[in-house]
Structure 1
Amino acid sequence: MAPPTLPLPATAVASSSGALLVASGTSLHFAAGDNVSSSTTPNTTVPAGLVRKVALSADGKLAVSAGDDKHLTVWNIEDGKLSVRSTRQTAKKVASIDFTADNQIVVTDKVADVYLYPLDPRDVDAEKRPKGFLLAADPSLNPDADLLLGHVSVVSQHVLTPDGKHIITADRDEHIRVSRFPKAYVIERYLFGSEGFVSAIHVPASRPNVLLSAGGESTLQVWDWTSGSLLRRVEIWPAVLPHRRVRPPARRVKNKHRKVVGSSALAGIAPSDDPTNEGFYVAVEGSVYPLGQGVCVEQIGSVTVGDNTAVGVFFSEGCAALHSIVVDAENPVVETLALPYPVLGFTTVPSQPSQLLVTLDTSFGVAKTATEIDAARATSSVVLVDVAADGKMSDNTASSSLVASLRAALSDPSLDATPTTLSQLALFPNLSLFPRWPGFEEDEELAGPAVNTPEGKAELETLNSRQLGRLKARGEDVQDLLPKKKKRRGRKGAAVGGDDADAEGEPDEGSAPVDLEAPTHAAGGEDVAANVTA
């Protein structure tokens, strides 16, 4: 008996003044009015080629897409039809993508760099192209693009300001940076005040001096980015927490003697798989979840309602709800619209400034061993949401002919996937990438205090490996001592039966560091795929 199949969920969406673009699997679906044209391709390259980011040019004549295969594909759109204009490779996976006013392409990668790509690929001699490790060490060597800027931490997103003169970037280490564009080496200011990672930022078109930011902390921030002032904080956790549906995989704590911080507030609460239970984010004994209660704001956008009222809209990754605030309100109230499945993205509907097209993960909850699938899921992948001037939202899907056309395109049987394929999509990777993990970050107390350059070799011998590493990064000649420390750590481990403590008493970190390029699972429990209930 053949396994059941389900249409691939819509993983990315974008819009311009007159058109919509929706990605599912490795295909794109372009909608102008109620007419939908699809670049349907066999799903044999899913999940390796899964499209995660798309953008449309302002005039709707060009599109760009990027996926897990690191292909940056530019599309021509003529008479409502999509055709490939060019394809090139990016050095890293793409985290954020945009067209500039003159149709160049701004790409933020998954590590720390932001590039400006020309619309059409440059002619580069293959023999002179830098090898992968050289490009990773020096992003400015990228022959296909110009390096705009870099952070020392994972960059989450960039936004171009409405006047096209600035680019704002955010990262995992609480930084929001305002730089000139395209001369991004000129930093105008930093926006200080975030208390957790910043995973989403947005400048409303109708409020060009305002920036909305959020991430893993309990508030959403409203800034005047032109002056650097923080206008207000809006508490969002009471609205977000009841709608969590997805957790990252728990990490095992290998070293039982290592103190795991960050879980004391949940002491005495039993783990639960019920999202409405307070134990939903409590890990079983011997393992931990990252800090932050499973909140990672994935996207912030805005709509203009009535007499120029700006309403900010956002959602947290792995949550089945959309939230909104009135941007100019002195004490904004967070409004919530619950949805049947976790939200994957949203965009404004062309010519309807107060409407949003929202995409949902209809594969959530389907076990990879499922022998039956509810057919109703296939008709729930996109919904239409109306936003009122007070921020209240309502589902208006039933009356939308646009949604009916998109659902028909997304339900093309040739693009269906089996539960096994759906389990490999990893649609919620940022739940593991951005939050801190208790007990797994560098412990400054164990690393020892920062040191000045020692007077001689005898003093160098007293330093532990982390302190030596810091001196090496500062250019000190300590290379000969580092191998000795590693050997000593190996002998110590063997002597105690394999315990990973070195001669200075540095316990094991508990886990290998996160591989930024590897797919990250995001369902509750260990080794469970992102959007599948085991």
Structure 2
Amino acid sequence: MSVFPHTQLLFSASLAVVTSGPHIQILDSRTGDLITTTADRQGADKEALLKSGPIRLAAVDRSGKHLVTSGDDKQLKLWEIDGLKLLNERELPKKPTSLAFTRDGQTILSSDKFGDIFSYELHPAPQTAEQKKASLASHDNPSGGKLILGHTSFLTAFLLSFDEKFIITADRDEHIRVSWYPQGYTIENYCLGHEKFVSAVHIPEFSPAELVSGGGDPMLKIWDWMTGKVKREIPILHAVEPFIKVKPARRTPRRFEDGGGEENGDDDAKKKGRKGKARAKSASASLPADPSEEGGEAEASESGDAVLALRHIESLKPGVDESRHLIFSAVGATALFSCAYSDDAVHAFDFEKPVIDFTVSSDGLIWVCLDGQWGVDSADGTPVMVRVVRLSGDKLVEVSGNDVPPLLSSLNSKCLLPTTPAELKALDLFLPLSALPKNNDVEHDPMDREGFDNPGVSKKELGRLKSKKAVAAKVQSRPAGEGGRGARGAQYEESQVRARRCWCR
């Protein structure tokens, strides 16, 4: 029997919140007792849950009272954790890429694939009139969200500084930006130096002036984020690559699906009508959760090259580990990785199943969510979806014997919810492997100078590239040590780029 994997595990006070497909389950983190779940909803409530599809993002506020979730339906749902009561539901303008609460729990921040971050009040006021478009927004906001800032690229991650005076954002085009919060239009600095997408950022509690970033590059970078200077790098590719077992699914570039290039050769795909678009969408709308299900045909290239894409970076909280360690995971990798903050040695703990996500609890235990059914027949017994490790010296070791928390047993037994192979495939657990890297085919890469003569590259894309390069050149030419008000020239350039983009659309 197929079951949903646990895609996210969150701890708050004495409770554990776990998301599994479209469902939410609340457990007592000490005893493992199941307190409430959406899986037992009936009637219209059940129908609405299933219609929303799998939960992609979730966040819990510091008080442990509220949970916010979102999925493919672009609905921002606010839940009261006590009883899992749905308090309100708002439509987002585009699919979100990350969610977070502010420290006081009264504001929800959401980044999206169009490069914008909006803020939403915890309890929205009734709208009496249609909201005007934000002047720099790249799309309408149907729920009256307040625009904080915008990038000209797919936003992959963001976080607030501990004092919440700054917001740090990362995108698919190698940029890390430090902006004031909530006055996101004021750019304090850039952290430039990545050569591939940035997909994970983290500020350690033991070093709040430093930022750890990673993504598709073969190293972690540690920055002084107020000056934008790299302090050091930790090479990781040699340690991570052997454990990347999931290959990206083959995806056709969208411009060829829409008839943007001669190479397509499919007359049907060039049609502009609804039917033509529907055929193009259905051809690449979903990716197999396990490439082996498609007989290996879903791999990104003929060589089956592995793609490095970091998913999550954390550090152990002060008092748990005096030596200060970083913990990180990569999409499609079967191991969890650790390294001392002041050392370059990277250690791996192999679970032999792809790591979906991990969470560090207040007692220093590291809870790892796995795709326990990957590579095995669903009839091969009950899969193990969660395992717990801890740091011992410089390496990770599995918690065993009397040290195993009761919660672990519950997560691997009564919290497993039945599903179908079709619903499992729709989860797209490894979608970032295809969505984050730019087109692997250099011939069709709009960011490659030698590919500019390619008819598949539109004038719009060339214009965006020139604008991005102009912004980067402006920032790099700024005298060392300038920030805040001295960065307004770069801020003005970025706003002009966004204004041109809005005009083109």
The bucket for the TM-score relative to the shorter chain is 0.7 to 0.9
Given residue 298 of structure 1, which amino acid in structure 2 is its aligned partner?
R
Counterpart for residue 128 of structure 1? 130
Given residue 183 of structure 1, which amino acid in structure 2 is its aligned partner?
Q
Counterpart for residue 311 of structure 2? 298
What is the deviation of 1:36? Answer: 3.2
Counterpart for residue 113 of structure 1? 116
Per-residue CA shift, 1:235-254, capped at 9, x if unaligned? 11111111112111235799
The whole-number CA distance in structure 1 between the counterparts of 2:63 and 2:365 is 20
The answer to whether the 8 A contact 2:235-2:344 is kept is no
Q: Percent identity?
A: 31
Name the TM-score, length of structure 2 as normaliser: 0.74
Decide which of 379, 382, 389 is 1:376's aligned counterpart.
382
Task: Tell me the C-alpha RMSD between the 2 structures.
Answer: 3.5
Counterpart for residue 341 of structure 1? 353
Per-residue CA shift, 1:455-488, capped at 9, x if unaligned? xxxxxxxx999559868999xxxxxxxxxxxxxx
Query: 1:302-313 residue pairs with structure 2 within 5 A?
Result: 302-304=315-317, 306=320, 308-313=322-327
Point out the more displaced range, 301-310 or 148-157: 301-310
1:58 is aligned to 2:70: no
What is the deviation of 1:307? Answer: 5.6
The whole-number CA distance in structure 2 between the counterparts of 1:426 and 1:76 is 28
* Secondary structure of the corresponding residue to residue 239 of structure 1: helix
What is the deviation of 1:200? Answer: 0.6
The answer to whether the 8 A contact 2:349-2:397 is kept is yes
Counterpart for residue 92 of structure 1? 94
The whole-number CA distance in structure 2 between the counterparts of 1:252 and 1:58 is 42
Counterpart for residue 502 of structure 2? none
Per-residue CA shift, 1:287-343, capped at 9, x if unaligned? x76xx841100111111364643211111101111001112x1x3211111013111
Query: 1:50-449 residue pairs with structure 2 within 5 A?
Result: 50-78=54-82, 81-103=83-105, 104-125=107-128, 128=130, 138-139=138-139, 141-250=141-250, 283-284=301-302, 293-304=306-317, 306=320, 308-327=322-341, 329=342, 331-349=343-361, 351-352=362-363, 354-365=364-375, 373-377=379-383, 380-390=384-394, 392-396=395-399, 399-411=404-416, 415-437=417-439, 438=441, 439-442=443-446, 444-445=449-450, 447=452
What is the deviation of 1:397? Answer: 5.4
Residue 470 to residue 316, structure 1, CA distance change in 2 (3 Å): closer
The whole-number CA distance in structure 2 between the counterparts of 1:240 and 1:473 is 31
The answer to whether the 8 A contact 1:19-1:30 is kept is yes
Residue 336 to residue 119, structure 1, CA distance change in 2 (3 Å): same
The whole-number CA distance in structure 2 between the counterparts of 1:219 and 1:472 is 28
Rg (Cα) greater in structure: 1
The answer to whether the 8 A contact 2:21-2:427 is kept is no
Given residue 316 of structure 1, which amino acid in structure 2 is its aligned partner?
A
The answer to whether the 8 A contact 1:106-1:114 is kept is yes
The answer to whether the 8 A contact 1:76-1:83 is kept is yes
**Residue-pair matches, total:** 415
Residue 135 to residue 51, structure 1, CA distance change in 2 (3 Å): farther
The whole-number CA distance in structure 2 between the counterparts of 1:294 and 1:191 is 23
1:8 is aligned to 2:28: no
The answer to whether the 8 A contact 1:94-1:107 is kept is yes
Name the TM-score, length of structure 1 as normaliser: 0.70
The whole-number CA distance in structure 2 between the counterparts of 1:256 and 1:139 is 30
What is the deviation of 1:158? Answer: 0.5
What is the deviation of 1:161? Answer: 1.4
Residue 252 to residue 185, structure 1, CA distance change in 2 (3 Å): closer
What is the deviation of 1:119? Answer: 0.4
Counterpart for residue 500 of structure 1? none
Give the helix-richer structure, 1 or 2.
2
Gap regions ≥5 residues in structure 1: 259-272, 275-279, 450-462, 475-534
* Secondary structure of the corresponding residue to residue 403 of structure 1: helix
Gap regions ≥5 residues in structure 2: 265-290, 293-297, 467-505
The answer to whether the 8 A contact 2:313-2:327 is kept is yes
Query: 1:472-491 residue pairs with structure 2 within 5 A?
Result: none
Point out the more displaced range, 27-36 or 145-154: 27-36
Residue 429 to residue 446, structure 1, CA distance change in 2 (3 Å): closer
1:49 is aligned to 2:53: yes
Residue 140 to residue 257, structure 1, CA distance change in 2 (3 Å): closer
Counterpart for residue 499 of structure 2? none
The answer to whether the 8 A contact 2:389-2:399 is kept is yes
What is the deviation of 1:446? Answer: 5.3
The whole-number CA distance in structure 1 between the counterparts of 2:124 and 2:457 is 45
